[in-house]
Amino acid sequence: MTGYVVRRLFQMALALLGVSVIVFALIHLVPGDPVRIALGTRFDPDIYEALRARAGLDRPIVVQYFAWLGSAVTGDLGVSFRSGQPVAGLLLERLPATVTLAFSALFVALAVSIPLGIVSAVRSGSKLDYLSTATSQIAVSVPDFWAGIMYILLFSLVLSWLPPSGYVSFLESPVEWLRHLALPALTIGLISGSIIFRFVRSAVLEALNQDYTRTARAKGLSERQVIWRHVMPNAWIPIVTVVGLQLGFLLSGVIIVEVIFAWPGIGRLALLAVQDRDFTVLQGAVLLIAFMFLVINLLVDLLYGYLDPRVRYD
Amino acid sequence: MKVHIRRQRLASLLILILAFALIAGACSSGESVDVGETTTTAASGGDTTTTATATDDGGDTTTTAAAAGDDKSGGMLIAAQGAEPDRFDPHLTSAFASFQVLENIYDTLVQPGDDLSMEPALAESWDISDDNLTWTFKLREGVKWHNGRDFVADDVVYSYTRILDPDFGAANAWRFGSVESVTAPDDMTVEIKLTRPTPNLLVNIGAFKGMAIVPKEIVEDGTIDTNPVGTGPFKFVSSSPDQGIVLERNDDYWRADEGLPYLDGITFLQIPDQTVKLTNLQTGEVDWIDTVPPQQLAGLEGDDNVVLMRVPGGDYHYFALNQTRQPFDDVRVRQAIAMAIDRGEIAEAAQFGAATANQTAIPPGTFWSFDYAPFATADVDGAKALLEEAGVSDLTIEFLVTSDFPETVTQAQVIAAQLEPVGVGVEIRDVDFGTWLDEEGSGNFDAFMLSWIGNIDPDDFYYAQHHTGANFNFQGYSNPDVDELLDAARVETDPSARKALYDDAAAMIVDDASYIYLYNPENINAWGPQVQGYMVRGDNAVRFETTWLER
C-alpha cells in the first residue's frame, strides 16, 4: 500500500511538471504583455523596455521557464506583475473562500443528488423518476451565470432574504457567513448535483439489476437491507469517481460564479491574471488547482480500496 | 411498508424543494440583465476639461446641504467599485480602481477644484518667475502624515525625484517632461525649475493622484504598495479580498478645523458584475456605487432608493484608421468615413444617450472647447463621391475592438450598419484588452477603437496622439503644421493665444481625420438617499472628503 502511494506521489509530481510546462507555453504564446498592460495605455517605450528587462522578460522562454521552476521548487512562486505581491501570499489569501464554496456546493449537490438518485433508481419508471430526470436535465442546461443572477434578483432584491454578493468569514460571523454562502453554493450545487444525480441513478440501477440483488431479495431480505447492504456498496464506486471529479472541478474556483457573487476566491484571481497576462500568478494558481485535483484523485483511488474489497494496492 | 411510505414522503419533499428552487431560478424577473463583465478602464486617472454643471437626476445631491447645526460626523460608508485596485503606490499604478481609493488617502501640491480649475492643496500659493522658468510653491503649514510625522518640502522633492528617476518607471513621468530640477530652499518652500515655459504645469503636477506626495519611509521599507501613508482625509487601515479596502478618518487632516472629513471611515468593496453591484445598492448592502449599467438608467428614474447623478465628462470615444496602410493613407477615404457615420446614433446605442456627440475631442462648455463640426452627418452620397474620387471601391475595414470595453463593440456594430449604404464593408475583430494593446502597438489593424480619459489641459488631448512620432500616435499621422502648432502651444503662456493655437491644430486634426471622434460620455455615480455631500466630478475623481451619512 505504501509503495502504491509513493508511486502515485511520484506520478503527481510528474503531472504537475507537465501542467506547468503547458501553462507556461500557452500563456506566452497568447499575444499580450504584462508590462504593457501594467503600464496602462499611457506608457513610455523606454520605461517599457527597462521594466521588461528588469522582469527578465527579454530572456528566451526556455530560460525563463527554468528560472521560474528553480524558484518554484524552493517554494518561491514569484511576484505578481500587477500588484508586486508574492504569488504564494495571494493564493493563500484566497484559498479559504474557494475551498469553502467548493465544499458547500458539494454538500448541496450531494444532499440533493444522493437521496433523489437512489429513490429514482429504486422507483425507476415512476413519475418521481421522470420528474427528477427531467428537472436535472433542465438544471444542467441552465447556464450558471444566468441562474446565479436570477437567484440574486429573486432572493435578494425581491424577497430581501439574502445578501446579493460578498463573503464573510465564519470566524467573523457564522450567521452572515451562511447567508452569504447560500446563493453561490446553491447556484453551483444544483448544477453539480444534477450531474451527480444522473450518475447515482445509473449506478444504483446498474447494481439493482445484478444477480446478487436478485439473490438478496430471494433470501427474503427487506428492501432497505437489500439497498443498503448489497446495492449501495457496489454503487458507491462510480459515484465516488464522479464526486471526486466534481470536487476537483469545484475547487478550480468556478470563475463565473465567483465573479458574479464577488466571491474572493482563486477563480477570480486566475481570471484577472489571464486578463493582465500576469504569468506568475497564473502559473501559481493553475499549479495549486492541479495539485488539489491530483490529491483528490489520489484520495478517491485510496477510497476504492476501502469501499471495494476486491481492490488491492501493491 | 412503513419504510416505503416514509421514503416516498422524503423523496417528494426533496423533489418539491428542488423543483421550487429551479422554477424560482427559471422565472424571469422581467428586468434587463447585464451579464457582460465590464472592467473599468485601466488608463491612468481621470482628468477632464469640463464645467462642473452637475445635472441632478432625482434626489437631493447638492454638495453642501447645510443642515442647521446637525452633527454630521460619524458613520462608515460602504462603497462598491467595479474593478480591483492592483497596488497602492500612486506613482506606479495606472488602474482607475486604485485611484478611486488613493484619491482619499493622498494629496498633490495642487488639485482640481469642483469646477476643475486648479486650486491649492498641499501648496498654499505659488509664484512664477518673469522668464516663466521658475515656479516657487509655498507649502501649507501644520500638515501631518498619517504616521504622525510633519509634512515638509523635502517630501515633495523626494516624491518628484522618484517620479523623474528614469530607472524607476513611474507611470506619469512624462508629465514632468519639462522639469529640470526640484529643490527645497527651506522646509516650507519648493522650487521647480523648467527647461521651457510650461503653462500647464499645475495640471501636470496636480491633475490626479498619480503625482501624489509620498513619504520616503514607506518607500524605503517597501510598504508603499500594501500600506499607503498619505496626508489626505482618510488613513489606510487594511485590504483583504473578503473585507475589501478599509479606510478610517484622519483626525489630523489639514481641513479638520472645518470638521472634515465627516465619515468615520470608508470600506471599498469590489463587485465586478454591474447588475449585482446595482442590486447591492438597491438592497442597501452598499451606500455608493461607481457606475450604473447605462441600459438600466431609464429604469432607475423613479426609484426613491437610488440617487443618480450625471455629469458631462472629459472622456472621449474615437476610432482611428491606420494611415500606414492603403487606402487609409488617402485623407479623402478617411474623410468619407467621417462624414458617413451618425455620431448621435452611435452615442445612443453605446451609452443609451448618456453622452454628447462630438466631432472634436474636448467636450462642450469649457474654456478650451472648440465648436467645430466640419463633417456632415450620415452623408452617404458625399461619402460615396469622395471614395470614388479617391479611386476606392469594394473597401472593407477591419475594426479592432475589445469586449473588455464593450462600448467599442457596440460602436463598431452601429458603424458597420451606417457604412453599408456607402458600400464599405466592416469586419469586427473582438479581442481581449491585452491583445488589443499588442495589436495597436505593432500596427496590426485597419482601424482601432477605444476611448481616452481626457485631461483638463488640451495638450493631453492632442499632443501624444497626433504629434509626429509621439508615444500614442499609433495611427501613423504626420502633419508638420500640426506639429508646429502643438509645440508652440506647449510653451505659450497667454491662455487666449494658447487656445487659438490649439483651435487651429484641432481643426487640422479633425479635417485630416487623424482620429474620428465620436462622443463624450457622461460620468455617472449612484448612491442611497442617506449619502449626502457627495458630487460626481467632471474628472471622475471619487472624493468623500465632504460626504456624510444621514441617519
Q: Which residue of A lies nearest to B38 if distances are taken between CA atoms?
A: A259
Side chain identity at residue B425, one-letter code? G
Cell of B163: 517620479
What's the alpha-carbon Rg for chain B, to the nearest Å? 26
Distance from CA of A249 to the nearest CA of B (A): 22
Judging contacts by C-beta atoms under 8 Å, the chain B residues touching residue A115 are 10-11, 14
Is any Cβ of chain A less than 8 angstroms from the Cβ of B1?
Answer: no
Q: At what angle do helices B2-26 and A127-141 cross, to 10 degrees?
A: 30
Distance (Å, whole) CA B281 – CA B287: 6
How many C-beta neighbours within 10 Å does residue B270 have?
19
Judging contacts by C-beta atoms under 8 Å, the chain B residues touching residue A46 are 166
pTM for this entry: 0.83
Cell of A59: 530572456
Residue A252 has pLDDT above 90, yes or no: no
Higher model confidence: residue B216 or residue A83? B216
Q: Identify the pLDDT of residue A254.
A: 80
Judging contacts by C-beta atoms under 8 Å, the chain B residues touching residue A47 are 166, 169-170, 173
Instruction: From B9, B529, B73, B49, select the one nearest B316 (Cα to Cα).
Output: B49
Q: Answer for the pair A243, A106: CB distance below 8 angstroms, yes or no.
A: yes
Distance from CA of B42 to the nearest CA of A (A): 6
Q: Identify the pLDDT of residue B123.
A: 96
> Which among A27, A28, A36, A42 is the top mutation candidate for probing chain B, defined by the most B β-carbons within 10 Å of its own β-carbon?
A42
Q: Identify the pLDDT of residue B456.
A: 75
> Which among A28, A128, A130, A149 is the top mutation candidate for probing chain B, defined by the most B β-carbons within 10 Å of its own β-carbon?
A149
Distance from CA of B36 to the nearest CA of A (A): 10
Distance (Å, whole) CA B165 – CA B172: 11
Instruction: From B104, B503, B328, B92, select the one nearest A43 (Cα to Cα).
Output: B92
Q: What is the mean pLDDT of residues A246-271?
A: 87
Q: Answer for the pair A112, B14: CB distance below 8 angstroms, yes or no.
A: yes
Q: Which residue of A lies nearest to B280 if distances are taken between CA atoms?
A: A164
Distance (Å, whole) CA B95 – CA B39: 11
Side chain identity at residue A27, one-letter code? I
Query: How far are the Cα atoms of A222, A232, B318, B333 from residue B322, in angstroms, in the given order?
Result: 80, 68, 13, 11
Residue A189 has pLDDT above 60, yes or no: yes
Instruction: From A287, A100, A250, A308, select the one nearest A300 (Cα to Cα).
Output: A308
Instruction: From B456, B541, B482, B532, select the one nearest B62 (Cα to Cα).
Output: B532
Q: Per-residue confidence of chain B (551 residues) as pLDDT tens digits?
A: 444 555 556 556 666 555 554 554 444 333 333 333 233 333 333 333 333 333 333 333 334 444 444 578 889 999 999 999 989 999 988 888 999 999 999 999 999 988 888 999 999 999 999 999 999 999 999 999 999 999 999 999 999 999 998 878 787 888 898 999 999 999 999 999 999 999 989 999 999 899 999 999 999 999 999 999 999 999 999 999 989 999 999 999 999 999 999 999 999 999 999 999 999 999 999 999 999 988 888 888 888 889 999 888 888 999 999 999 989 999 999 999 999 999 999 999 999 888 999 999 998 878 888 999 999 999 999 999 999 999 998 899 999 999 888 889 999 999 999 999 999 999 999 998 888 888 898 899 999 999 887 577 888 889 889 999 888 899 999 999 999 999 999 888 888 999 999 999 999 999 999 999 999 999 999 999 999 999 999 888 999 999 999 97
Residue A279 has pLDDT above 70, yes or no: yes
Higher model confidence: residue B363 or residue A51? B363
Query: How far are the Cα atoms of B41, B131, B363, B527, B539 from residue B536, in angstroms, in the given order?
Result: 17, 38, 16, 11, 9
Distance (Å, whole) CA A161 – CA A179: 9
Q: Where are the alpha helices (DSSP H) in B359-405?
A: 380-389
Distance (Å, whole) CA A275 – CA A267: 12
Judging contacts by C-beta atoms under 8 Å, the chain A residues touching residue B282 are 157
Residue listed under C-alpha cell 432572493: A155
Q: What's CA B325's distance to the chain center, in Å?
A: 31
Distance (Å, whole) CA A224 – CA B398: 68
Give the one of A94, A132, A154 whose C-beta lies nearest to B241's C-beta.
A94
> Which among B86, B277, B439 is the top mutation candidate for probing chain A, defined by the most A β-carbons within 10 Å of its own β-carbon?
B86
Whether residue A262 and residue B167 make contact (CB cut-off 8 A), yes or no, is: no
pLDDT in tens, A199-245: 999 999 989 999 989 999 899 888 888 888 888 888 888 899 899 88
Q: Identify the pLDDT of residue B452.
A: 87
Whether residue B44 and residue A40 make contact (CB cut-off 8 A), yes or no, is: yes
Q: Identify the pLDDT of residue B464.
A: 85
Q: What is the DSSP string of chain A?
A: -HHHHHHHHHHHHHHHHHHHHHHHHHHHHSS--HHHHHHTTS--HHHHHHHHHHHTTTS-HHHHHHHHHHHHHTT---B-TTT--BHHHHHHHHHHHHHHHHHHHHHHHHHHHHHHHHHHHHTTTSHHHHHHHHHHHHHHHS-HHHHHHHHIIIIIIIS--S-SS----TTT-HHHHHHHHHHHHHHHHHHHHHHHHHHHHHHHHHHHTSHHHHHHHHTT--HHHIIIIIIHHHHHHHHHHHHHHHHHHHHTT-HHHHHHTT--SHHHHHHHHHHTT-HHHHHHHHHHHHHHHHHHHHHHHHHHHHH-TT----
What one-character DSSP code corresponds to residue B465?
Answer: H
- In degrees, to the nearest 5, what angle opens at C-alpha A36 toward C-alphas A30 and A37? 75
Q: What's CA B495's distance to the chain center, in Å?
A: 25
Q: Which residue of A lies nearest to B404 if distances are taken between CA atoms?
A: A275
Is any Cβ of chain A less than 8 angstroms from the Cβ of B492?
Answer: no
Judging contacts by C-beta atoms under 8 Å, the chain B residues touching residue A38 are 86, 94
**What residues of chain B, 437 to 476, have a C-beta less than 8 Å from chain A?**
437-439, 441, 450, 452, 464, 471-472
Distance (Å, whole) CA B269 – CA B78: 7
Instruction: From A184, A179, A233, select the one nearest A207 (Cα to Cα).
Output: A233
Judging contacts by C-beta atoms under 8 Å, the chain A residues touching residue B39 are 275
ipTM here:
0.86
B144: buried, middle or exposed (CB in 10 Å: 19+, 13-18, 0-12)?
Answer: middle
Distance from CA of A131 to the nearest CA of B (A): 8
Distance from CA of A6 to the nearest CA of B (A): 37
pLDDT band at A255 (very low <50, low <70, confident <90, very high): confident
